[in-house]
Amino acid sequence: MSFQLQDLDIEFLIQISIEAGNAIMKVYDREFKIETKDDKSPLTEADLLSNEIITKALKKKYLQIPIISEENKLIDFSVRKSWDWCWLVDPIDGTKEFIKRNGEFTVNIALVHQQEVVAGVVYVPAQEKVFYAIKGQGAFLKEDSKDIKQLKIRKIAEDGILRVVASRSHKSAAVDDYVKGIEKKYHNIDFVAAGSSLKFCLLAEGQADVYPRLAPTMEWDTAAGHIVAKEAGAVIIDNETQEELKYNKENLLNPFFVVKHPEFEF
């Protein structure tokens, strides 16, 4: 495949994420049906509508790059393992938050090269915020069509409080145990609850210090947020191996992981 990272049009990804987000918000503002998928997770017409908009646009502009999406039929690894490039798409990350109408859901589009995420867009439709990043070029936030702001993680607990991001809908006993371990070194700890890939973005914005995800996630849940947090200075590591998360694996289920400042230890 002749595609190179410099061929990527990040503005195009931002545009289609916003188009998908606008379609999502039209459903969000009215009554909608909720179905249950085989894995017991919820599905709405907004998920399918967003998926159609994104996948159709990506196929038209980047015909040579295959797509892995939560709402598409998954392709066997015997085929995927030969891919140098692929998209990872979550048309609505945080469907539970969408259903609750708390605004904490995102549209995630990420580009993967040889198991490494190299670009991504996280759009927050209810807040009209776009987080985006390309490998080696930094992470950025565009909000309400205002000036673009470059993102950088903060010094650990620079205000004297260690802020731990926890999932609003998936907080686990394992996270409580993790925090108990942190308390031996950091005595003043505050929880920041958030849904979807917004948790990655909170670290990128300097609003939190560590995000332990000690519960199941899929690759499309994390890829776009991963590159945003990484380009802002964070590390995203497998909680057991201490190696960076990889993508387009044989099993698309992520290992448990932690997003943190590179100097964070306890």
Sign of the Cα pseudo-torsion (83, 89, 94, 100, in order): negative
CA distance 108 to 201: 12
Please name the residue ranges forming H helices in 29-94. 45-61, 77-80
pLDDT given for residue 31 in this prediction? 80
Our CA dihedral for 88, 105, 256, 83, rounded to 10 degrees, sits at 0
pLDDT given for residue 169 in this prediction? 60
| 49, 55, 67, 140, 244 from 260: Cα distances, Å | 34, 31, 29, 18, 12
| DSSP reduced 3-state for 119 | strand
Residue with the two structure tokens 């998928």: 37
Strands in the chain per DSSP E: 34-36, 42-44, 67-69, 85-93, 106-113, 116-124, 129-134, 138-143, 148-151, 162-167, 189-194, 210-213, 235-238, 257-260
Our CA dihedral for 203, 98, 144, 109, rounded to 10 degrees, sits at 70
Q: What is the mean pLDDT of each run of 10 residues along the chain (266 residues)?
A: 91 98 91 77 87 97 96 93 97 89 93 98 96 98 87 94 80 81 88 90 96 94 98 96 97 97 85
Amino acid identity, position 118: V
Q: Cβ distance 141 to 147 under 8 Å?
A: no
Q: Cβ distance 128 to 140 under 8 Å?
A: no
Q: Which domains does the chain have, with CATH numbers?
A: 5-151 (3.30.540.10), 162-260 (3.40.190.80)
pLDDT given for residue 178 in this prediction? 87
CB crowding 191-209: b at 16 or more within 10 Å, else e? ebebbbbbbbbbbbbbebb
Total-model pTM = 0.94
CA distance 117 to 93: 17
